[in-house]
Homo-oligomer: A and B are copies of this chain.
Amino acid sequence: MTDQGTYHHGNLKEALVQAGLDILHQQGLSALTLRACAVRAGVSHTAPKNHFGNLAGLMSAIAARGYQKLTETMQTGLPQDATRADRRHAALGGYVDFAAQNPGLFELMFSPQRTNGDSPELMEQANRCFDVLRDVSEGLVWDKSDAPDAALRAQIMHWSIVHGFAQLTASGKLTKGEMKHLQIFDVFPQFDYKA
């Protein structure tokens, strides 16, 4: 178990991911190179190969951390006795805010070309993020049918609309004119819960 002990560098794996996150919101996605991460972590530019294999491996690890942060953002500011509607509000709003405040990281997280879609840790963190949306999707009245996949459909609908809105705004496709001030809650119908 050499993961936490003080080794040559300490634990370079964590340092490289953190360096990548720093670069992302200081210089943007175009500056996120393998060598730049290595330099910032204080090692040679081939050191990351031992931990991540190649560039896609490092990018996947950074993206996985991004999902972790996104999940946290979706759950911040919630009181102890938050209702499901409160959690839904926080989740959708947090998702959009995260994309707006971390455009480079957000683009990386959903870039199949740069990341390994089958990375275990990436899939795990993405699923954890998806779980939050499942929680707030259960029991919506909009779904009149009692089909067994109703909950799944509501979950996918939530992720689709919040992700679409987040990316369209973060990528600047929706900023022109008067639509700039619209929030996702203005656009997405405010369905009630059955219970």
Contacts and interface: CB of A to CB of B under 8 A. Distances in A.
Interface residues of A, number: 41
Interface in A164-181: 164-165, 167-168, 170-174, 178-179
Contacts of A164: 159-165, 167
A142 interface: yes
Interface centre among A153, A173, A182 (most CB of B within 10 A): A173
A156 interface: yes
A103 interface: yes
B187 A174 contact: no
A189 interface: yes
Contacts of A189: 142, 157
A110 to B, nearest CB: 6
A10 interface: no
A139 interface: no
A113 to B, nearest CB: 5
Contacts of A29: 113
Contacts of A159: 164, 168, 174
A117 interface: yes
Interface centre among A29, A112, A159, A162 (most CB of B within 10 A): A112
Sort A-B residue pairs by CB-CB distance and give the 3 closest, nearest first. A164-B164, A160-B164, A160-B165
